[in-house]
């Protein structure tokens, strides 16, 4: 430690010099303290930044694990709950049977069925063909020698099943000749979609529905056909599907024009692998199916699938070229170019906004996210109640009801978002979820002012499920062209289902009538206008 000099022995000049040295040392220490304080602030900022990054990466890791290993649904669906119901009912039936057998064994008497509180069995449908099987005594003479007299009958019904059967249609065209003038007369063969082919319209419809509605790849269908003794090669089945896809294309194009006449359309897209893009391409490519659907409350129920080789917004722009109206979609940038023109008005998806907070909640149990979920759940509860009250048919009633009940909740949610936007770190996952909703708030709240607009885009996402199920079974599209043909077929099958039609019956009739149907009257065969041809 440096010793201080004896100040009493110093001259005036030495004291002055010593004072200046002390001042310089004090100034140096002050600068060092400032630098240390600044360094501490920088370290604190880095620690806070690293803490936010850690939370962000923990959230992303938890989200990745959930997507990889956990269930994808945001809640337990009714279908999943029914799986448990089925298992319980199977156990109850098995236990009942075992108890009956035990009771019978103990009493050495015929088993008496326990009285259980079960719902009454539904009667079998009247439209089923009935095979009457008579069970009569071998002899109608009594043991005493008298003749038995029939006084009535008991009828019990069993539901039977006969596997699908192939049969041959022999079209016999008689030849008629005039002996006087030797004129030959013969009825012409009916027109078929595949001329001179062996497949009837019903068989073609069965193959199409099996692949694109029941998601059975052609190799599985071939195995089923082989069990029935019919050997149809996959190349033959592929040829049938290719030809039908081309023949059904005018119907899909006509339905597209009907959809583009609507003022509100849903839009969404999903990836599908394309195995071959060209002769020089060896690796699979990622193609996309774009879906455009009318709203759930629209009298015209239809969905159009547009298969393309990419997710470029140019595909949406080409499909919607010239169309004006409200487009319900997510925040994908591919739709943005059409909004800038002002001809198309964006309608946001509340389900996507909710999903951001739901991911936060399930990965980090965020209380902030839970508050947002509660408010959004109120909005959906209002929509459910609204659908019950107005039966989903009156836009004016929907608008009035939303203004009265949904508007206050939306205002509360907006204030809540702005309040927490100022308190959470800007780079955190919570801030991103809040910013997503605030940035799209005009689009998210647009449904309040128009009863024709839905609260979210879930309706068209539901129409994407057949593709999600299909690609797990037939895995990929062979080429861009085959994907486009598949889109034509899926368009008609899914639109038929939306209109409550049996896709098999619909396609069977359409494929019969299509070869001779007049082109200007093609709309008569569209699912929402189709009527079965009277026999």
**Which pLDDT tens digit goes with each residue over 399-418?**
999 999 999 999 999 999 99
Dmax of the chain from CA atoms? 161
With cut-offs at 50, 70 and 90, classify the pLDDT of residue 257.
Answer: very high
Total structural domains within the chain = 1
Give the model confidence (pLDDT) of 263-287 as tens digits.
999 999 998 887 765 455 566 778 8
In a domain, 154, yes or no: no
Indicate whether 445 belongs to any domain: yes
Q: Is the pLDDT of residue 179 over 50?
A: yes
Specify the pLDDT at position 289. 92
Q: 279 in a domain, yes or no? A: no
pLDDT band at 93 (very low <50, low <70, confident <90, very high): low
pLDDT above 80 for 138:
yes
Model confidence at 476: pLDDT above 90: no
> Confidence band (pLDDT; 50, 70, 90) for 80?
very low
Q: Is the residue at 371 inside a domain? A: yes
Residue 250 lies in a domain: no
- Domain for residue 153, yes or no? no
The mean-pLDDT minimum among 12-26, 43-57, 105-119 falls in 105-119
Query: Residue 377 above 80 pLDDT?
Result: yes
> Which run of H or of E encompasses 245?
helix 234-247
**pLDDT for position 77:** 45
Q: Shortest CA distance to 523 belongs to which of 246, 251, 247, 245?
A: 251
pLDDT confidence bin for 498, thresholds 50/70/90:
very high
The answer to whether residue 189 is domain-embedded is no
Q: What percentage of the chain exceeds 70 in pLDDT?
A: 81
Burial class (CB in 10 A: 0-12, 13-18, 19+), 323: middle
**What are the CA-CA distances from residue 515 to residues 127, 240, 248, 308 (Å)?**
30, 15, 10, 28
Nearest to 208 by CA among 473, 494, 489, 475: 489
Summarize the confidence of residues 458-487 as an average pLDDT. Answer: 80
Determine the average pLDDT of the residues in 485-489.
90
Minimum mean pLDDT among 316-320, 397-401, 530-534: which range? 530-534
Q: What is the mean pLDDT of the chain?
A: 83
Q: Please say if the pLDDT value at position 119 is more than 60.
A: no
**Integer CA distances (angstroms), 219 to 216, 223, 436, 474, in order:** 8, 6, 45, 10
Q: Is 43 helix (H, G, I), strand (E, B) or coil?
A: helix
23 vs 465, which has greater pLDDT?
Answer: 465
What's the whole-model pTM score?
Answer: 0.75
Q: Is residue 4 part of a domain?
A: no
Q: Which domain holds residue 394?
A: 349-456
Per-residue confidence (pLDDT) for residue 389, from 0 to 100 = 73
Q: What is the DSSP letter of 290?
A: E
Mean pLDDT value of segment 378-399 = 83
Query: What pLDDT score was predicted for residue 63?
Result: 60
pLDDT of residue 205: 94
pLDDT at 5: 62
* 187 vs 176: CA distance, rounded Å: 9
């Amino acid at each position: 430690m440096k010793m201080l000099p004896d100040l009493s022995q110093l001259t005036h000049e030495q004291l002055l010099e010593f004072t200046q040295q002390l001042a310089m040392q004090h100034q140096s220490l002050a600068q060092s303290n400032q630098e240390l304080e600044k360094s501490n602030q920088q370290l604190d900022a880095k620690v806070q930044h690293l803490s936010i990054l850690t939370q962000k990466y923990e959230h992303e890791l938890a989200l990745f694990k959930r997507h990889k290993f956990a269930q994808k649904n945001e809640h337990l669906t009714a279908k999943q709950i029914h799986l448990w119901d089925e298992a319980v009912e199977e156990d109850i039936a098995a236990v009942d049977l075992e108890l009956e057998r035990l009771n019978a064994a103990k009493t050495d008497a015929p088993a008496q069925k326990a009285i259980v509180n079960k719902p009454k069995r539904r009667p079998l449908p009247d439209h089923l063909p009935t095979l009457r099987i008579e069970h009569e005594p071998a002899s109608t003479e009594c043991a005493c020698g008298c003749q038995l007299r029939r006084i009535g009958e008991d009828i019990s019904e069993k539901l039977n099943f006969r596997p699908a059967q192939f049969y041959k249609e022999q079209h016999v065209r008689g030849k008629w000749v005039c002996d006087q003038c030797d004129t030959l007369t013969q009825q012409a063969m009916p027109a078929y979609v595949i001329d001179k082919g062996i497949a009837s319209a019903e068989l073609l419809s069965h193959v199409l529905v099996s692949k694109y509605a029941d998601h059975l790849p052609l190799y599985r269908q071939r195995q089923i056909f082989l069990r029935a003794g019919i050997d149809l090669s996959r190349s033959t089945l592929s040829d049938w599907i290719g030809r039908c896809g081309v023949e059904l294309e005018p119907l899909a194009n006509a339905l597209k024009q009907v959809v583009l006449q609507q003022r509100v359309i849903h839009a969404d897209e999903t990836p599908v692998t394309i195995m071959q893009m060209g002769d020089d391409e060896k690796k699979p490519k990622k193609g996309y199916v774009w879906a455009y659907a009318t709203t759930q409350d629209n009298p015209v129920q239809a969905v159009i699938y547009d298969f393309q080789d990419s997710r470029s917004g140019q595909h949406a722009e080409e499909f919607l070229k010239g169309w004006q109206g409200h487009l319900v979609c997510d925040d994908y940038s591919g739709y943005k170019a059409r909004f800038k023109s002002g001809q198309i008005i964006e309608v946001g998806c509340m389900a996507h906004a909710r999903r951001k907070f739901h991911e936060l909640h399930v990965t980090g149990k965020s209380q902030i996210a839970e508050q947002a979920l509660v408010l959004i759940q109120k909005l959906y509860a209002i929509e459910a109640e609204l659908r019950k009250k107005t039966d989903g048919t009156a836009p004016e009633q929907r608008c009035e009801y939303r203004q009265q009940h949904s508007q206050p909740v939306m205002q509360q949610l907006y204030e809540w978002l702005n309040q927490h936007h100022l308190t959470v770190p800007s780079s955190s996952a919570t801030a991103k979820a809040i910013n997503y909703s605030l940035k799209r708030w005009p689009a998210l709240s647009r449904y309040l002012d128009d009863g024709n607009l839905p609260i979210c885009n879930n309706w068209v996402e539901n129409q994407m499920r057949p593709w999600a199920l299909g690609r797990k079974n037939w895995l990929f599209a062979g080429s861009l062209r085959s994907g486009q043909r598949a889109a034509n077929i899926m368009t008609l099958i899914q639109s038929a289902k939306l209109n409550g039609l049996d896709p098999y019956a619909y396609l069977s009739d359409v494929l019969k009538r299509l070869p001779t149907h007049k082109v200007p009257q093609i709309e008569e065969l569209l699912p929402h206008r189709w009527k079965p041809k009277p026999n």
